[in-house]
Structure 1
Amino acid sequence: MAPNKTKKNKNKKKKGRYGVAELKTLGNDLLSSASNINNLPLLLKFVTPSSPPHHLLESLLSLHSFFLPLLPTLPSSSRASDAKGAQDQSQFIYNTWLRSKFDELVKSLVEVLSSPRQQQEEEEAVKEVVLDTLMEFVKVANGGRFHSAIYHRFLHSIVHSESSVEFLVDLLAAKYFKYIDVRYFTLISLKKLATTLEGKDPSDDKSENADGADASQLSSSTERVIHNIYYTISRVPPPGNSDNTSDLEMWSRSENENKQPSGDVNADDKQLKPDKHDNNVLSAAKIAKKMKLKFTQAWLSFLRLPLPLDVYKEVLVNLHQAVIPHLSNPVMLCDFLTRSYDIGGVVSVMALSSLFILMTQHGLEYPNFYEKLYVLLAPSIFMAKHRARFFQLLDSCLKSPLLPAYLAASFAKKMSRLLLSVPPAGALVITALIHNILRRHPSINCLVHREDEVVEGKDEATAANSEDAKVSASQKSGIDHFNYGEPNPKKSNAMRSSLWEINTILQHYCPPVSRFALSLENDLTVRAKTSEVNVGDFSSGSYATIIGAEMSRRVKQVPLAFHKSTPSTLFSDTDFPGWTFYYKETSEITHGSDESADKDDQNSGKRQRVE
């Protein structure tokens, strides 16, 4: 152990003797003459994550200039045995040694990119130069073709990095994702990384982990890798129009060269094996034809992973806009989306957008869609972050004229019941939704006003003349047959109920709510002169929007806090149909008191107000 420590200390001392000027001299000597080849290993020692930035950049500049013209002549690892018999022994050994040093340089560059540095400014400057150098090697190190092995190693280091990768991925996206071949091999590599990660955790239950309930059981390293994969794949531009020449720009130069392609066929491009003798196999046109397929495969492989809850929600929010329109077959997402929709709560609300697109545009059949949508109607939905999109989709889902009457009645009645517990902004959007449902489905207009029912099971004439019928009718007044807690809209008895809750908001404490309900009161009687309400105008409302609208509103008449005429009763007879208010006798209230108190009560009056 002692000799090894001594050797390491000597290397550190030797490394510390060199400054930027000395490294520049070593690089110039290496480039000027092959006799100074021993400077190569020395310069490689400074390309490490722990090296000072100026030393690293000076060494990298010399190494980049040295290796760039030699790369087409260096043998690959897979061709070493064949090249040994074809070349001179000494020249082959020299080239093999150079190849090993180049591989060492690539490994060091990947380590620098994936390792954090002490100062943020130094980290960004160094990583930008190192990334440019590495991508230059990717461009020319495979005989003019895209070197997918080096690029895959680089993406592997990004995905498994323990530090933040946002700056590096954003830099890669800004400078290189505009090239179609870079996007193509990025999707291939991310698919392989996601598939490998999925194979490491075969015991994970995708359906349980999908909703984030078991996300805490994921190891921190696995969760970090999933975050990095998502951050990278979400920055890859989707497949564009193949006719647009700006989308077909290549980073490699294989389409303009007539060189025979090298025999190094990596695992990343196995799909290109049948055409490995075709010089134009990596042309932009052929890549463009396969981009949509690779985009689909990469996303499907990622969605099979046990996503953490925060990643899961972000995926569902962006899926319908950033992913579904660019898939080769969007119906392949039906399992993922239906599983998400069955979870309930906020996750179901987020999955509704993508599922609605599959149902309306791609012919997906989901028999329990409306039952699940009915369950989502709860007071908590009016505080959700993405409630605006949910209400607009809810209005679209209830627009079909083929919707059964019981289903339309159930949705209208449940939303009507929610009027009693939601914030004012929620009351506005509910009123608009109910108004649209009543206009689209005239068969449920009976819910607007329903007379008291007579006794069931008896003839009407007999029941009208019997005292029992009168008592029963008075007892049944005010009874709502709607079952709010029933999750199945078919069993909710909504068709036997009425929308009495809407009448309550005519006296709502928030003036915009009562005014809006009053303005829609006559819409159902004059259908020809009115139209449906745009739910989008109310779906994103809040207390702030209501207060802002009220403050900017011009008030013509100020409400006063007194009655124009003195009220004779606290409640009128029409306020509570079916209820009777009466005063109790004084003797019933003061039963058991002494005789003097009874005399005083009899002298004071026959009735007494009950507090």
Structure 2
Amino acid sequence: MESPMKKTKKMKKKTPKQHSITEIKTLGQELLSSASHINNLPLLLTFISPSSPPHHILESILSLHSFFLPLLPQLPSSAATSSSSSADSDQSEFIYLTWLRSKFDEFLKLLIDVLVADESDETIKEVVLDTLMEFVKVANGGAFHSSLYNRILRSIIHSTSNAEFLIDLLISKYFKYIDVRYFTFISLEKLTRNLDGKDASDDKTASADGTDESQLSSSTEFIIHNMYYTISHIPPLEKSDDTSHLEMWSLTDDKQLKSKKRNNNVLSAARIAKKMKLKFTKAWIAYLRLPLPLDLFKEVLVNLHQAVIPHLSNPIMLCDFLTRSYDVGGVVSVMALNSLFILMTQHGLEYPKFYEKLYALLVPSIFMAKHRARFFQLLDSCLKSPLLPAYLAASFAKKLSRLLLSVPPSGALVITSLVHNILRRHPSINCLVHREEVNEDSEHRTDEETNSNLDNAHNVAKPCQKSGLDHFNIEESDPMKSGAMRSSLWEIDTALHHYCPPVSRFALSLGTDLTVRAKTSEVNIGDFSAGSYATILGAEITRRVKQVPLAFYKTTPSSLFSENDFAGWTFKCEENSETIIDNNENGAKDLLDQEHSPAKRQRIECQ
């Protein structure tokens, strides 16, 4: 019989693909059975490669995992292998353990390579990830191996293909454990700072507001997307003093936890729960400093108020990011308005030019935006304060009224409801509804002067006559200089004759005295903010009509249109039956013979 050394040498001469599954199983069984077959270890490592057959990789991983798992407590750390001395222990034993440590590090590297390789099968990737996470659990003496987990997460995020599959595996299998979530935030903060300092430092200024992504390399953009997909799917920690329900991936044994209490690196679920909000905040603040691509920038703004702000340790730290986003303009400002409004109303943020920026967002395109429903609800909330200056309320009411002339019917309903609420909340601008013609000496007044004389503006006046002059300047970006207080809401009168019946009916509500608050109520903007042609048509179809228009005729009409409708046109048929017989002798004769009623005969003669 051949000795084990000769048998191993013969197997080494073969390439990894030339070995059978039985031979690989034999190598693993020999390695696990006796230390004399330690030379099988390097040979089994050669089968772990993205180019190897999946069954070869699987058998090698199973054997090596079973071999290294009981030896991990005895292996020296990677840093200790280069600095430790063998004076306190047997030199041969130390050399052997150091060699095993190097092979274990090589094993980890090969596993990570297979994990992120394009050629690897998804089933193999799942097995590899489970094996790596098992080492994260036990390779650090029972504590969470944060450095190894950081390597795994970094490789996944920097992977150029199929990263979402691996992240989904982490989400479904491991993000339920609080320590995995905790160290994920720590790793993401490190990876973000490294990316911000190296890869994206040159183009951060150009695309920090999400408006210019041309300078971002494709690899950097891909990494940023992977980071967001990871950080946005980490479940937040619910506010609760009871931490007994929290599961941990490491230190599942209570006896093991008590024996490690002296070690500062060992964290319990209670300690992690206290620090979780801080790590969550640091990870998100670091991520928002990256030059986000435009599509991702919009997605972050949309979800920020629900997924991030409630779980931050200090939400006011987002003020720079949100104010910079709000200053971009357009749809980006609309998306940033939600989170900025929360910081202003709930966390004491002061933003001096907030209403000026909000006034600039009132353009016709906003009525077709995707997030218009939430925008109009926030706009209504921003104009609710009774401390709002009269000139500011008048400017918003006047600009909305001017937009009514160019928006679709659904937008007209929203504008009418907004103007209704503004007039009810701010009685000082009800003079815009009924105003006399402006005198020549008052044309040069500013809104501040007009606002100081509001007590004299409540006098009942005649409806505004056509003077040919409107002092309101819609092109003015400053509401104080718009001239709205010297104008009138004449645009609302056009809504009374709108071609869409719901708009004209709703506009009648503005004719009532809205200053009598006991007899009027505010309109819920949410009922109209998401309207469209389909919703208006659906409401009209289901509407119960009390009076149905009907057409009555004293005599049966002989034609579709009467002569009075088309002056100079006649619809009489001058052809007789003889002409018809001449044109089509056989067919007309048969047809006339078959028709006996006078009405049918008359209809045939008129053909």
Using the size of structure 2 for normalisation, the TM-score is 0.81
Secondary structure at the counterpart of residue 68 of structure 1: helix
Q: Does 1:364 align with 2:349?
A: yes
Structure 1 unaligned regions, length at least 5: 1-9, 262-275, 459-473, 563-611
Moved more, 518-527 or 290-299: 518-527
1:311 positional shift = 1.0
The amino acid of 1:440's aligned partner reads: R
Tell me which of 395, 419, 432 is aligned to 1:447.
432
Alignment partners' CA distance in 2, 1:423 and 1:129: 57
Q: Does 1:342 align with 2:332?
A: no
Alignment partners' CA distance in 2, 1:110 and 1:49: 10
Tell me which of 331, 339, 347 is aligned to 2:316.
331
Whether the aligned pair in 1 keeps the contact of 2:243 and 2:269 (CA below 8 Å) is: no
Whether the aligned pair in 1 keeps the contact of 2:200 and 2:216 (CA below 8 Å) is: no
Partner residue of 2:270?
285
Whether the aligned pair in 2 keeps the contact of 1:204 and 1:306 (CA below 8 Å) is: no
Whether the aligned pair in 2 keeps the contact of 1:75 and 1:83 (CA below 8 Å) is: no
Whether the aligned pair in 2 keeps the contact of 1:180 and 1:248 (CA below 8 Å) is: yes
Seen in structure 2, the aligned counterparts of structure 1 residues 208 and 494 have a Cα distance that, compared at 3 Å, is farther
Partner residue of 1:512?
502
Partner residue of 1:65?
66
1:34 positional shift = 1.4
Seen in structure 2, the aligned counterparts of structure 1 residues 133 and 323 have a Cα distance that, compared at 3 Å, is same
1:251 positional shift = 0.8
1:83 positional shift = 5.6
Secondary structure at the counterpart of residue 328 of structure 2: coil
Alignment partners' CA distance in 2, 1:475 and 1:527: 28
The amino acid of 2:505's aligned partner reads: R
1:491 positional shift = 0.3
Partner residue of 2:530?
540
Moved more, 405-414 or 444-453: 444-453
Tell me which of 381, 398, 410 is aligned to 1:425.
410
Using the size of structure 1 for normalisation, the TM-score is 0.81
Seen in structure 2, the aligned counterparts of structure 1 residues 242 and 25 have a Cα distance that, compared at 3 Å, is farther
Partner residue of 1:412?
397
Q: Does 1:169 align with 2:162?
A: no
1:555 positional shift = 3.6
1:57 positional shift = 1.4
Q: Does 1:319 align with 2:304?
A: yes
Write out aligned runs for 1:235-250 (5 A): 235-245=233-243, 248-250=246-248
Partner residue of 2:90?
88
1:413 positional shift = 0.5
Seen in structure 2, the aligned counterparts of structure 1 residues 27 and 457 have a Cα distance that, compared at 3 Å, is closer
Partner residue of 1:141?
139
Q: Does 1:436 align with 2:435?
A: no
1:12 positional shift = 9.0
Seen in structure 2, the aligned counterparts of structure 1 residues 113 and 493 have a Cα distance that, compared at 3 Å, is same
Q: Does 1:487 align with 2:477?
A: yes
Partner residue of 1:26?
27
Q: Does 1:213 align with 2:211?
A: yes
Whether the aligned pair in 2 keeps the contact of 1:482 and 1:494 (CA below 8 Å) is: yes
Partner residue of 1:49?
50
Alignment partners' CA distance in 1, 2:521 and 2:128: 62
The amino acid of 1:23's aligned partner reads: I
Secondary structure at the counterpart of residue 131 of structure 1: helix
1:431 positional shift = 0.9
Write out aligned runs for 1:103-252 (5 A): 103-117=105-119, 122-123=121-122, 125-201=123-199, 203-204=201-202, 206=204, 208-245=206-243, 248-252=246-250
Alignment partners' CA distance in 2, 1:339 and 1:190: 24
The one-character-per-residue Cα deviations of 1:67-95 (angstroms, maximum 9, x if unpaired) are 11111111101222336333211111111
Q: Does 1:101 align with 2:103?
A: yes
Q: Identity, % of aligned pairs?
A: 75
The amino acid of 1:307's aligned partner reads: L
Alignment partners' CA distance in 1, 2:145 and 2:264: 15
Question: When the two structures are aligned, how many residues end up with a matched partner?
Answer: 520
Seen in structure 2, the aligned counterparts of structure 1 residues 450 and 457 have a Cα distance that, compared at 3 Å, is closer
Alignment partners' CA distance in 1, 2:505 and 2:13: 81
Tell me which of 524, 548, 562 is aligned to 2:514.
524
Moved more, 547-556 or 148-157: 547-556
Seen in structure 2, the aligned counterparts of structure 1 residues 451 and 256 have a Cα distance that, compared at 3 Å, is farther
Whether the aligned pair in 1 keeps the contact of 2:16 and 2:52 (CA below 8 Å) is: no
Secondary structure at the counterpart of residue 84 of structure 2: helix
Structure 2 unaligned regions, length at least 5: 1-10, 444-463, 553-607
Secondary structure at the counterpart of residue 215 of structure 1: coil
Q: Structure 1 runs of 4+ off > 6 angstroms?
A: none
Partner residue of 2:597?
none
Whether the aligned pair in 1 keeps the contact of 2:427 and 2:515 (CA below 8 Å) is: no
Alignment partners' CA distance in 2, 1:395 and 1:11: 77
1:207 positional shift = 5.3
Q: Does 1:498 align with 2:488?
A: yes
1:381 positional shift = 0.7
1:18 positional shift = 1.5
CA RMSD, Structure 1 to Structure 2 (Å): 2.4
1:532 positional shift = 0.5
Seen in structure 2, the aligned counterparts of structure 1 residues 202 and 56 have a Cα distance that, compared at 3 Å, is closer
Alignment partners' CA distance in 2, 1:337 and 1:560: 58
Alignment partners' CA distance in 1, 2:171 and 2:257: 30
Secondary structure at the counterpart of residue 86 of structure 1: coil
Alignment partners' CA distance in 2, 1:316 and 1:12: 59
The one-character-per-residue Cα deviations of 1:332-372 (angstroms, maximum 9, x if unpaired) are 11111000000000110010011111111111110000000
